Amino acid sequence: MNRTPRLTFIIALIVLLIYPAYAQDSSEPTPTAVPRPFPSTVITQNGMTVELYFETIAQGGIGLVHVQGEGIAGARARFLNRLVEFFPAENDGYYALLAVSMEQTPRLYDLAIFAWYPDNSRITLNTQVEVVRGQFIRQAIGVPADRAYLIDPQVERHEFAHLDSIITTLTPEQYWDGKGFQLPANSEFTSPFGAFRTLNQTVSTRHTGWDMTAPTGTPVHAMSAGKVAFAGQLDIRGNHIIIDHGFGIFSGYSHLSEILVSRQQTISQGQIIGLTGNTGRGNGPHLHWEIIVNGVWVDSRQFIETWLPVGNGSG
C-alpha cells in the first residue's frame, strides 16, 4: 500500500490545526519580474560611463546608478554626506542604490562617483541629483490605553538606536537573485510609507514602512533571499524580523504573533518566516513591512518595483 498520500494529508492537517491562517491564505505572493529600464542620463568621462536610471529621486525614494568601463575594478560614491558602495554585476560593471531620507530637503545635491583600476589609479566624475518632494499623507492614530506608554519619544529613539546598530552593517555579498523582491503577503495595503502621524493627538512621528491588513496568524513570506539579522521583540515593532539581503539592503517585518526563524538563518525568497499579529505599538492585527537601503528607510513599494541586477557574489 502506498502511504505517501495519507502521510501528506496528515501533515497538511497538522499545519492547518497549528496555523489556522493557512486555511485563509495559503498562496505565496508571486514575484513580479521588473523589466530592465533605459537610463535617464548617460555621462561618459575618461573611459568611464555612468548611467542614472532616474530623473529625480523623491523623499524616501531610491535611484539606481550604473558604472562601467574597461578595466574598472570597483566604484564608490559620495551622496548626502554618506559613502555608497557599488556592487559588481555579472559582466556588467558596478551598480549602487542612492537612498534619500523621507525628511531630506528637496533641492539639488552633489553626487561624486569614484572608480579605480587594478594599478590603484582613480577617476572621479561629478554630477548632481535633484531630490523632489514626496507624496505623504497625514494620519491620526489611536494607541490603546494599555500601550499608550509606547508613544513616549524616548522609547522610539531607543528603538531606532538599536535598529541602527543592525542596519548600518554592510554585507559585501549579494543574497537576492534574479527574482528580485516580492510582497510579503497577499493582503490589502492600508497605511502608507512616510505618513505624518499624530499618536493619541499628542506625539508626532513618521511611518517607516507600509501596512497590510491581515488577521492574526496570516503567513508572512520573506521578500527575497537573505540571512536573518534580527529575530526578537522590540517595544514599538513588537515581534520583529530583519533580513539582510546583502550590499546594504534589509527588509523588516513587524507586529508578528509568531517568529518562525532565528538569527543567522539562511532564508529563501517566499519562505514563511512568521505569522501576523498585534504585538508592539499596534492598534489591531496587521503587517508592517519596511525596506532599509544603506541605513535609510525607503518606500518599500517603490523598492520592489525597481529593477535590480543580479550580482556576481562578493564585492
How far is it, in rounded angstroms, from Cα 242 to Cα 228?
A: 6
Map out the domains of the chain as residue ranges: 41-132, 138-304
Return the C-alpha cell found at 144.
490603546
Please give the pLDDT value at position 3. Answer: 41
Pick the CATH number of 138-304 from 3.40.50.1000, 2.70.70.10, 3.40.50.720, 3.30.1490.20: 2.70.70.10
For the chain, residues with pLDDT lower than 50 are 1-26, 314-315
Please give the pLDDT value at position 177. Answer: 85
How far is it, in rounded angstroms, from Cα 201 to Cα 29?
A: 36
Please give the pLDDT value at position 310. Answer: 81
- Check: CB of residue 268 under 8 Å from CB of residue 279: no
How confident is the model over 226-271, as pLDDT tens digits?
A: 999 999 999 999 999 999 999 999 999 999 999 999 999 999 999 9
What's the topology of domain 41-132?
A: Immunoglobulin-like (2.60.40)
How far is it, in rounded angstroms, from Cα 243 to Cα 250?
A: 5
How far is it, in rounded angstroms, from Cα 121 to Cα 142?
A: 58
Please give the pLDDT value at position 66. Answer: 98
Q: Indicate yes or no: pTM above 0.95.
A: no
Question: Can you state the percent helix, strand and coil of the chain, rounding each to 5?
Answer: 15, 40, 45
Please give the pLDDT value at position 32. Answer: 65
Please give the pLDDT value at position 184. Answer: 98
User: Please, where are the H alpha helices in the chain?
Assistant: 4-18, 21-24, 153-167, 300-304
Using a 10 angstrom Cβ sphere, with 0-12 exposed, 13-18 middle and 19 or more buried, the burial of residue 33 is: exposed
